[in-house]
């Protein structure tokens, strides 16, 4: 299994500064102001880095999925019969398994009274 090439993130200077602040906080939270003790192995440091990175990735996934769901406020046509349906008041709670662990997502839900089916427009249809 080959290593995937890293995605080149184009971050603003402000975001880079905030990311650096977060890194300082994470390091301090784990090892204190003095940093890792002399007996700390690089494997321990790397493991902590991966755990922190996974936590950040999960939070980014959850936030962006929530923002994406906001695009689906308007009525939508049923993918089966094209009847225009209104969004249900309560979202469908979905747990997604990502590369970095489980992420809870509130997905917009629609109910077609004609077909008597639920559908979720943020998820592509099987034929897409």
As a whole number of Å, the CA-based R_g of the chain is 21
Structure tokens at 25: 């906080």
SS3 105: strand
Is the pLDDT score of 110 beyond 50? Answer: yes
**Range(s) of the domain holding residue 29:** 13-119
- Structure-token pair, residue 32: 């204190």
- H or E element at residue 37: none
Residue 78, in any domain of the structure: yes
Domain annotation covers residue 55: yes
Note whether residue 50 is domain-resident: yes
For the entire predicted model, the pTM comes to 0.74
Q: What is the pLDDT of residues 28-75, one digit of tens each?
A: 999 999 999 999 999 999 999 999 999 999 999 999 998 988 888 889
Domain contains 33? yes
Whether the per-residue pLDDT at 4 is higher than 70: the answer is: no
């Amino acid at each position: 299994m080959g290593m995937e090439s890293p995605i080149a993130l184009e971050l603003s200077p402000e975001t880079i500064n905030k990311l650096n602040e977060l890194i300082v906080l994470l390091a301090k939270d784990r090892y204190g102001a003095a940093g890792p003790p002399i007996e700390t192995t690089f494997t321990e440091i790397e493991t902590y880095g991966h755990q922190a990175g996974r936590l950040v990735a999960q939070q980014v996934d959850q936030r962006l999925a929530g923002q994406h769901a906001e695009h689906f406020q308007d009525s939508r046509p049923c993918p089966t019969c094209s009847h225009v349906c209104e969004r249900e008041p309560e979202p469908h709670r979905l747990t997604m398994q990502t590369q970095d662990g489980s992420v809870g997502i509130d997905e917009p839900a629609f109910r077609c009274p004609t077909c008597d089916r639920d559908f979720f427009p943020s998820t592509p249809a099987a034929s897409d």
